[in-house]
Chains A and B, each alone.
Chain A
Amino acid sequence: GQNIDQPTEMTATEGAIVQINCTYQTSGFNGLFWYQQHAGEAPTFLSYNVLDGLEEKGRFSSFLSRSKGYSYLLLKELQMKDSASYLCAVTNDYKLSFGAGTTVTVRA
């Protein structure tokens, strides 16, 4: 079975840093994706981790530890437009299994 856990909601102030954790227990593992989804819109790709370590891409970074079944998405210098749902997803061959998403609210 697939079990992917992430917090339901997080709130942070504009300019701050927020870390969204994701833990997973899956029957297989090829890689881990993070997607961003604004309300009423399609999910859009943020990052993909296959190997352990930190992947940095501008204000967003993603970390993976395969031995711990753990990942996090780090959002730096938060902006109002970063208010969205962030989805953690694990891929196993052809199947992408999603967590329920973390709704991040950025306050002025």
Chain B
Amino acid sequence: ETGVTQTPRHLVMGMTNKKSLKCEQHLGHNAMYWYKQSAKKPLELMFVYSLEERVENNSVPSRFSPECPNSSHLFLHLHTLQPEDSALYLCASSQDVAGKQYFGPGTRLTVT
């Protein structure tokens, strides 16, 4: 039990669909992150939030839209995705932005 949960664990969506990924951390951390993990490639940092403020947007296409309503919850809103967006999307949290990160189990996303 890592203290970071993600839902759904698996998602299949068409290119015209709109869906959202949810992440919740029960660790009292102040920073949360979204990563994309594709096969045989390094984890790619997408977004960083610290105290609910976005501090990093790593050149991510606008079809990915993050939302951090409070320090415990992080969402990733998806719309008009492409097949190459199929990947494992991992959420993580840390006490502060320079600290050890705890990862959630990820959402396996398939875009058809």
Which A residues are in CB contact (< 8 Å) with B45? 95-97
> What is the CA–CA distance of A101 and B37 in the complex, to the nearest angstrom?
11
A96 touching B101 by the CB < 8 A rule?
yes
A100 touching B98 by the CB < 8 A rule?
no
> Can you list 5 A-B pairs, Cβ within 8 angstroms, ordered by A?
A31-B98, A43-B103, A94-B50, A95-B56, A97-B42
With known contacts A42-B103, A44-B103, A48-B100, A87–B43 Cβ distance under 8 A: yes
> What is the CA–CA distance of A91 and B33 in the complex, to the nearest angstrom?
14
A100 touching B103 by the CB < 8 A rule?
no
Chain B residue, CB-CB nearest to A47 = B100
Which A residues are in CB contact (< 8 Å) with B33? 96
Chain A residue, CB-CB nearest to B106 = A42
Interface residues of A in 6-47 (CB under 8 A from B): 8, 30-31, 33, 35, 41-45
> What is the CA–CA distance of A5 and B82 in the complex, to the nearest angstrom?
29
Chain B residue, CB-CB nearest to A35 = B103
The 7 closest A-B pairs by CB, nearest first: A94-B97, A42-B103, A98-B43, A98-B42, A100-B42, A43-B103, A42-B105
Chain B residue, CB-CB nearest to A42 = B103
Q: Count of B residues near A, CB < 8 Å?
A: 23
B→A interface (CB under 8 Å):
2, 4, 31, 33, 40-43, 45, 48, 50, 55-56, 90, 97-98, 100-106
Chain B residue, CB-CB nearest to A31 = B98
Minimal beta-carbon separation of A92 from chain B (angstroms): 9
A100 touching B105 by the CB < 8 A rule?
no
Minimal beta-carbon separation of A100 from chain B (angstroms): 5
